[in-house]
Amino acid sequence: MTLGIMLLAVDVGNTQTVVGVYQGAVLEASWRLPTMREDTPDDIAARLHSLMGMEGIDAARIGRGVLSSVVPQAKAAWVAAVQKIAGVEVLICTARSAGHLFETDYPAPDEIGADRVADAVACKARYGYPSIVVDFGTATNMEVIDRAGRFIGGIIAPGLQTSASTLFDHGAQLSSVDLAAPPHAIGRNTAEALASGILIGEAARVDGLLRRVFEELGYEAKVVATGGLASQIAHLSNEIDEVDPDLTLEGLRLISEAQGRS
């Protein structure tokens, strides 16, 4: 691994937290962890030290930190943990801190989730525009970038696992199944029927929403999927063009880099 100042990027989601360490534009290591709302800064710092140690990354080389979080009670703990292990200030991702990288005519930019901002920044940089991000997480988010390169809004829907958990919790005769795509839409047993409804159903819902977005825009756009469940859904979709699992981290890196130049 090359020497030099490194960036620690953290995306705290409702269910999972994704952590990445960058050397320049290269993602040297990344981890996907369960989001633990009750973790203290010491808990998080110990976990980070262990993870980085296994990859041979010296915390002293971390020269910058950037964070997006949709979990308010976890944000302060993560900021304190990064400061504890690396002694650096942490840039908080928002529509405002993204600066010129995030152009929007959204009427209330401060209410846009940090992960949505990072996704839109990275998608525009990597894939151009018009483009749409579909982020499969606790919620299924869509971020729409028009042909002028502006974020104009999007869609927030219950995520695949959220919908599945609700179904299992309220269906007395239903039990959870592995989220693996069935061989056909018509289930030949309960497990296949559930898998079809959950996975193929999610892909059909996403495709239907995307077609409505295309209709409202008056043109089609490149569709990029990200998030922990993207690879399980994308191959079932007729509208998703690319899968980019590191899109949110890349957006955070770009925002941090732009701030460093300003």
Determine whether 163 is exposed, middle or buried from the number of CB atoms within 10 Å of its CB (0-12, 13-18, 19+). Answer: middle
Task: Output DSSP code: residue 228.
Answer: T
The alpha carbon of 140 is separated from its chain's Cα centroid by a whole number of angstroms, namely 10
Q: For residue 114, how many C-alpha atoms fall within 13 Å in the half-sphere facing its CB?
A: 22
* Cross-strand partners of 66: 9, 91
Catalytic annotation on 115? yes
**CA-to-CA distance for 142 and 114, rounded, in angstroms?**
13
Q: Nearest-5° angle of CA 66, CA 68, CA 72? A: 125
Tokens describing residue 254:
């770009």
Please report, for residues 145, 202, 207, 242, the alpha-carbon distance to residue 234 in angstroms, rounded to integers and kept in the order given.
Answer: 20, 10, 10, 8
| Catalytic position from the list 42, 43, 105, 115 | 115
Active site residues: 115
